[in-house]
Amino acid sequence: MLDANRVRVLVEVAHAGSIAAAAERMSFTAPALSQQLAKLERELGCTLLERRQGGVRLTGAGRILLAYGERVMGDLRDAETAVRAAAGERPRRLSLGTFASAGKVLVPGALAAFARAHPDVRPALSDLEPPDGYGLVASGALDLLITHRYPGVQLPAAAGLRRERILVDPLMLVLPEGHPAARPGPVPLAEAAGDEWICGAPGVPNRVALETAAREAGVRVRVAYETRDYEVTLALIRAGVGVGLVPRTVLGACEPSGWSAHPVAAADPAAPPPAREVYLVHRRRPLAPVPEMASLLRLSAHRALDRGAGAAAAD
Amino acid sequence: MLDANRVRVLVEVAHAGSIAAAAERMSFTAPALSQQLAKLERELGCTLLERRQGGVRLTGAGRILLAYGERVMGDLRDAETAVRAAAGERPRRLSLGTFASAGKVLVPGALAAFARAHPDVRPALSDLEPPDGYGLVASGALDLLITHRYPGVQLPAAAGLRRERILVDPLMLVLPEGHPAARPGPVPLAEAAGDEWICGAPGVPNRVALETAAREAGVRVRVAYETRDYEVTLALIRAGVGVGLVPRTVLGACEPSGWSAHPVAAADPAAPPPAREVYLVHRRRPLAPVPEMASLLRLSAHRALDRGAGAAAAD
DNA sequence: AACGACGGATAAGCTCTGCTTATCTGCGGG
DNA sequence: CCCGCAGATAAGCAGAGCTTATCCGTCGTT
């Protein structure tokens, strides 16, 4: 049968993106992993990795084995924690993956409350932009993932995992002070047709969402500046560089001057307004503190939404 | 993290019932396994096995780890076959576990048809009486399990497995030739109140079923002879030693003389008559030939039921 | 009661897996 | 042009894990 330790090497290499990086994480040297992978490939009689510039990429067979391997690693971790839990031991670590703006808006409050309730559990945070992170959850390297979906972007498959939507975060049209379209109530995207946009690079979810919404509104998008960072986006709007779409929860956490935020009037009034959905992802039998952290994050999400609504109404 | 090879040792020991037997199966010596288990226990800080007379028994922690370990081993096997299947390789082995009477009645026909359709696949058979075998399926040591439930016996948990009932096999009251209760049509169990019974030892499913049915009919069971083997049961009935309950499908495969079989008239006419249920158990993503073997077994089951009905009606 | 069979634990020694270090190749950027 | 980075390969070494040997307790047999 396949050697589980070799499979683990493949999983780590896939997550790290290169043999060298995985070796670093596993406190081994690169040749050690290279040899184990070679044996795994010989054993299976097919190549699992394409050696290419700057690292490796999985072949089709490699991706199949990765999916199984992640499950196996996750189950091994679960096994250990289950046995230790039966012996009365409590987990002392909770690893959390989050995308950038949740890391600023949702996580700090939840983490503070969690730390008060569980001073003995050390939370570990890592930044992961969608669609990354699912494999880390499956393999148990991550206990809880906070991820999102923008309109027009497909949600990744989550085989064997639980995914829960904790927030529908409306995308607000943010205009500089004095913009002619600025007024209370929903604003059609078409009124920003003459403006330049500040958004992510092509392929970045918020860029896809903007292009999707613009297409539906029949507006052509001209991009003035590309950034993933909403604080930068707001600073640029404040400076009059252009306009942008920003999730409502982000607004409540930013300097509320120099711009005004408006609900987007959807082209089709029956359709829901464009919104970023925020999800939690974890394994089926999560560690004891995971559900608690999840409910703190839900709470944090609702508060952030309220704050954002306040920031938007302020204008 | 836990070493998967050590976990495998635990799984094998649990299935084999003793360290020595597991070592035999794994082509190792007993001390090798003993040492690995000791390391596993030290690593987890708790005992997994109780050393007791004639072998070992799992502790609570051991049972928890066993359940996870079986999943892990099953997934590792699945991983290998999935990768090989993607490379065009076809599985060449199919292991089948079956209880004794199915091995005689259901399996031979299905196996013959399967061998014609898949001359390249070598089937392996092993005898497993319920409730054994579920763990072997979970760990991938068994591809397909044929198991049963008698009335009054609880069906084992099958977490992560698929279980399908392929047959409801009515228990027939079998009487020696010339028995006063022998007549066409259903016979109440009470009419055998004066007879002695031939059935399994206490705890054996068919004994439990008999006692359950007798309790409902208000009949006290006196056991003349204990055997699990239905051919022996029928031979004893033929010899006038007593009466018995025998599944209908078994009757169609036995010498049809010297006894007569009758449906049992249930005490509560609304309740279904007592029957042995036959199930197939396999993993969620079975090997290619498993579903095919399953449908051959379903077919075989229906045929056996018809043959059994014939044998019963013959009297 | 004594003995042998069986199952397991422990000790000591050896083998081989799998790690490290060192060297080589190929590709890309300063 | 050359250095840096990622990976493959070769050679050597350490340790994990196996085997053999011995011991202990329990049971069934003589």
- Give the model confidence (pLDDT) of A251-294 as tens digits: 877 777 788 888 888 777 777 888 899 999 998 888 778 888 88
> Which residue among B45, B78, B89 sits closest to A68, beta carbon to beta carbon?
B78
The one-character DSSP state at A114 is H
Cβ–Cβ of A1/B69 closer than 8 Å?
Answer: no
Using 50, 70 and 90 to split pLDDT, how confident is the model at A37?
A: very high
The CATH 1.10.10.10 domain(s) of chain B lie at 4-75
Using 50, 70 and 90 to split pLDDT, how confident is the model at A74?
A: very high
In the predicted model, is pLDDT for residue B314 greater than 50? no
Q: Which of A9, A41, A68 to mutate to test the interface with B (most CBs of B within 10 A)?
A: A68
As given in the structure block, the two tokens for residue B147 are 């198991």
State the Cα–Cα distance between residues B279 and B55, nearest whole angstrom. 30
State the Cα–Cα distance between residues B40 and B12, nearest whole angstrom. 14
Residue range A236-253, pLDDT digits in tens: 888 888 888 899 888 877
The CATH 3.40.190.10 domain(s) of chain A lie at 91-167+276-313, 168-275
Supply the pLDDT for residue A312: 64
Q: How far is CA A70 from the centre of its chain?
A: 19
Supply the pLDDT for residue B146: 92
Residue range B181-228, pLDDT digits in tens: 778 878 888 888 788 888 888 878 888 888 888 888 788 888 888 888
In the predicted model, is pLDDT for residue B143 greater than 60? yes
Supply the pLDDT for residue B123: 87
Percent of chain B with pLDDT over 70: 98
CATH 3.30.9.10 fits A91-167+276-313, yes or no: no
Report the pLDDT averaged over residues B262-278: 83
Using 50, 70 and 90 to split pLDDT, how confident is the model at A3?
A: very high
Residue range B34-93, pLDDT digits in tens: 999 999 999 998 889 988 777 788 998 899 999 999 999 999 999 999 999 888 888 888
- Collapsing DSSP states into helix, strand and coil, what is residue A55? strand
Supply the pLDDT for residue A73: 93
State the Cα–Cα distance between residues B79 and A65, nearest whole angstrom. 6
Q: Nearest residue to C19, CA vs C1'? A: A32
Supply the pLDDT for residue A285: 80
Class of the CATH-defined domain B169-271: alpha beta
Residue range A131-157, pLDDT digits in tens: 788 888 888 888 999 999 988 888 887
As given in the structure block, the two tokens for residue B214 are 């007798």
Instruction: Specify the fold of A4-75.
Output: Arc Repressor Mutant, subunit A (1.10.10)
State the Cα–Cα distance between residues B60 and B75, nearest whole angstrom. 23
Cβ–Cβ of A46/B77 closer than 8 Å?
Answer: no
What are all long-range contacts of B271-275, with beta carbons under 8 Å and residues at least 24 apart? B273/B170, B273/B171, B273/B186, B274/B151, B274/B170, B274/B171, B274/B209, B274/B212, B274/B213, B274/B245, B275/B151, B275/B168, B275/B169, B275/B170, B275/B171, B275/B247
CB atoms within 10 A of CB A222: 11
* Nearest residue in chain A measured CA to CA from B6: A4
In the predicted model, is pLDDT for residue A12 greater than 50? yes
Residue range B285-313, pLDDT digits in tens: 888 788 888 988 898 888 888 877 776 65
Supply the pLDDT for residue B65: 93
Q: Give the residue ranges with Cβ < 7 A from strand C.
A: A 3, 5, 27-29, 31-32, 35-36, 39, 53; B 18-21, 30-31, 34-35, 37-38, 49, 51, 54-56
Please, what is the angle between helix B30-44 and helix B19-26, to 10°?
A: 110
In the predicted model, is pLDDT for residue A43 greater than 50? yes
Q: Which of B126, B99, B123 is nearest to B277 (CA)?
A: B99
The CATH 3.40.190.10 domain(s) of chain B lie at 92-167+276-313, 169-271
Supply the pLDDT for residue A8: 94
Instruction: Specify the fold of A168-275.
Output: D-Maltodextrin-Binding Protein; domain 2 (3.40.190)
Supply the pLDDT for residue A193: 78
Please name the residue ranges forming H helices in chain A: 4-16, 19-26, 30-44, 60-86, 100-105, 107-117, 134-138, 205-217, 230-238, 248-251, 289-313
Instruction: Specify the fold of B92-167+276-313.
Output: D-Maltodextrin-Binding Protein; domain 2 (3.40.190)
Vertex A98 angle, CA A94 and A104, to 5°: 110
Using 50, 70 and 90 to split pLDDT, how confident is the model at A66?
A: very high
- Collapsing DSSP states into helix, strand and coil, what is residue B30? helix
Supply the pLDDT for residue B312: 65
Using 50, 70 and 90 to split pLDDT, how confident is the model at A76?
A: very high
Higher pLDDT, B22 or B271: B22
Which of chain D's bases lie under 7 Å from a protein CB?
5-11, 17-21, 26-27
Q: Chain-wide mean pLDDT for chain A?
A: 85
State the Cα–Cα distance between residues B231 and B104, nearest whole angstrom. 10
